[in-house]
Amino acid sequence: MDYVVGVLILVVGLILSIALHEIGHLLPAKRFGVKVPQYMVGFGPTLWSKTVRGTEYGIKALPLGGFVRLVGMFPPARQGAKVRTRKDGRPSMVEEARAAALEELGPGEEHRAFYRLSAPKKLVVMLGGPIMNLLIATVLLGVLAVGIGVGQYTTTLGNVQQCVPEDSQATSCAANDPVAPAAEAGLRPGDEVLSWGGVPTDSWEEISTVIAEGGTAPTQVEVLRDGERVTLTVTPTPAERPVVGEDGQPRRDASGDPVTEMRPFVGIGPTFELVRQPVTAVPGMVWDLFARTVEVVVTLPERLGAIAQAAFGTEERDPGVVGLIGVGRFAGEIASVEGAGYGLGERTADMTGLLVSLNMALFVFNLIPLVPLDGGHIAGALWEGARRRVAAWRSAPDPGPVDTAKLVPAIYVVGALILAMGGLLAYADIVEPVPLGG
């Protein structure tokens, strides 16, 4: 039952994000006088709708997106321009799109067509949706960081290994495995590390760095145990350990085997807890998330190729890209997973983080300069504004709006590619799922 609740929370959050995205387009369009016949959340059959001041507001059966229908997205053909037709004499796909874009304009409403807006107003309308997702991500990340807390490793020990397994992938001790240095020195779970080798430690990263740089000589470690300072002597031992990349995932060689290296080993692990952040930390966190999301989107074709190899072959699945089924699985597992130290606060933080990531992904993905994405229309508006500026500088006639109707074939191609990408991710999420946490 908890699993279903988690999925429902995600669905509601996604629907609200989509609805607000479309409001980001709707409000400026209506403010600038564009005729807006429909505002819909979802696709497919309409479940509910109501018309208010000429706009039908509604909810459709499939909550996989939404749309705001703006009349006059495509301008009419230039006067005197040759009208293309099909071999059977019917208007071409482009001319049909022009006619459909203008057919809902009544007498005297020509000025309400979207294409008649100035380039800056077009930018405001088309940027409104993605900017809304950015605002949602920023607000939710602020609530998460300042109000709930961000999960961080602490200087308090959460576990102390009892042995040094000969197999670095082993999860239990064998009879002939030597005792781990931490256990031999008397370190215990719950000990708070105050200093290591005389170096004060304020974070788990500092502890890891001091251990890695300290070698295998006997080291004085000061911990706080039951309110008292205790000094112990730990002698790290060299051990072959997996190499972890910047993304937190184990590195693998060309054959797919984990890459290992010899380094000082102690056998301790930290606790993990939510730590509230100052408001001043939020902008940097938003920027870091934006940069990571841009990196994923820029490398998306390569990643999709790897995902296809994982889904239909034997390659390892890239955990950086998942579809809606995978995200739904994450939400269900967040709501239903059981474990010590994973309570309501941690669940709320993880679910909020999931919605933050989704909205940032919607923001970045929609800025791709390809129609029918918002970024395609934004690029068209920028090009239109640049042409008009150059014409004004040269005292040339106004070139008029960019003829975006010519991009209609590209809309179908890009739309088909997006559907294919969604299908691939859905299939990969089923046959080669990404576990929670990557």
Interval 253-294: pLDDT, tens: 666 667 777 788 888 989 888 889 999 999 999 999 999 999
Letter for the amino acid at 379? Answer: A
Segment 70-77 shows an average pLDDT of: 89
| pLDDT band per the 50, 70, 90 thresholds, residue 436 | confident
Place of tokens 């699945």: 317
Mean pLDDT in residue range 150-178: 80
Say if CB 201 and CB 220 are below 8 A apart.
no
Instruction: At 90, list the tokens.
Output: 């019917």
pLDDT band, residue 333 (cuts 50/70/90): confident
The confidence band for 250, taking pLDDT boundaries of 50, 70 and 90, is low
For the range 395-400, what are the long-range contacts, defined as Cβ-Cβ under 8 Å and sequence gap of 24 or more?
A: 400/75, 400/78
- Locate tokens 């940027």: which residue? 127
CA distance 203 to 195: 10
pLDDT of residue 275: 86
Give the three-state DSSP class for 154.
strand
Report phi then psi at 141, rounded to 5. -65, -35
What's the confidence (pLDDT) of residue 168? 58
Which pLDDT band, with edges at 50, 70 and 90, does 143 fall under?
very high
- Give the pair of three-digit tokens for residue 216: 């295998």
φ, ψ of residue 120 to 5 degrees: the values are -60, -40
d(CA 21, CA 365): 13
Q: Quick check: helix, strand or coil at residue 389?
A: helix
Domain boundaries for CATH 2.30.42.10 within the chain: 152-275
- The predicted pLDDT at position 93 comes to 81
CA–CA separation, 68 and 90 (whole Å): 29
Beta bridge partners of 225: 228
N-to-C CA span, the chain: 24
The per-residue DSSP string of 246-277 comes to TTSSBPB-TTSPBPEEEEEE--EEEEEEEE--
Q: What is the DSSP letter of 195?
A: E
- Quote the CA–CA distance of 283 and 21 in Å, as a whole number: 21
- What tokens were used for 304? 């999709």
Residue 393: φ, ψ to 5°: -65, -35
Q: Is the Cβ–Cβ distance between 239 and 265 less than 8 Å?
A: yes
Q: Global pTM?
A: 0.83
Least confident window among 179-193, 226-240, 328-342: 328-342
For residue 420, pLDDT beyond 90? yes
The residue with tokens 């106004």 is 398
Strongest mean pLDDT among 171-175, 209-213, 362-366: 362-366
248 or 115, which is more confident: 115
Task: Give the active site residues.
Answer: 22
Percent of all residues in the chain with a pLDDT value above 90, rounded to a whole number: 50
CB 70 within 8 A of CB 34: yes
pLDDT of residue 170: 63
Q: Which two tokens stand for residue 154?
A: 């602490």
Query: Rounded distance, CA 123 to CA 129, Å?
Result: 11
Task: Read off the pLDDT of each residue in 297-321 and give the average, rounded to a whole number.
Answer: 86
Q: Which of 83-87, 153-157, 180-184, 365-369 has the highest mean pLDDT?
A: 365-369
With a cut of 80, say whether residue 1 has pLDDT above it: no
* Largest separation between any pair of C-alpha atoms in the chain: 91
Q: At residue 342, does pLDDT exceed 80?
A: no
Which architecture, in CATH terms, is 152-275? Roll (2.30)
Quote the CA–CA distance of 385 and 257 in Å, as a whole number: 53
Q: How confident is the model at residue 339 (pLDDT cuts 50, 70, 90)?
A: low
**Rg of the chain's alpha carbons, rounded to an integer?**
28
Residue pair 377/126 in contact by the 8 Å Cβ criterion: yes
Q: How many residues does the chain have?
A: 438
426: helix, strand or coil:
helix
What are 241's strand-pairing partners?
Answer: 261
Q: Report which residue type is found at 245.
A: G
Q: Is 371 exposed, middle or buried (0-12, 13-18, 19+ CB in 10 A)?
A: buried
SS3 of 223, please? Answer: strand
Using DSSP, state whether 238 is helix, strand or coil. strand
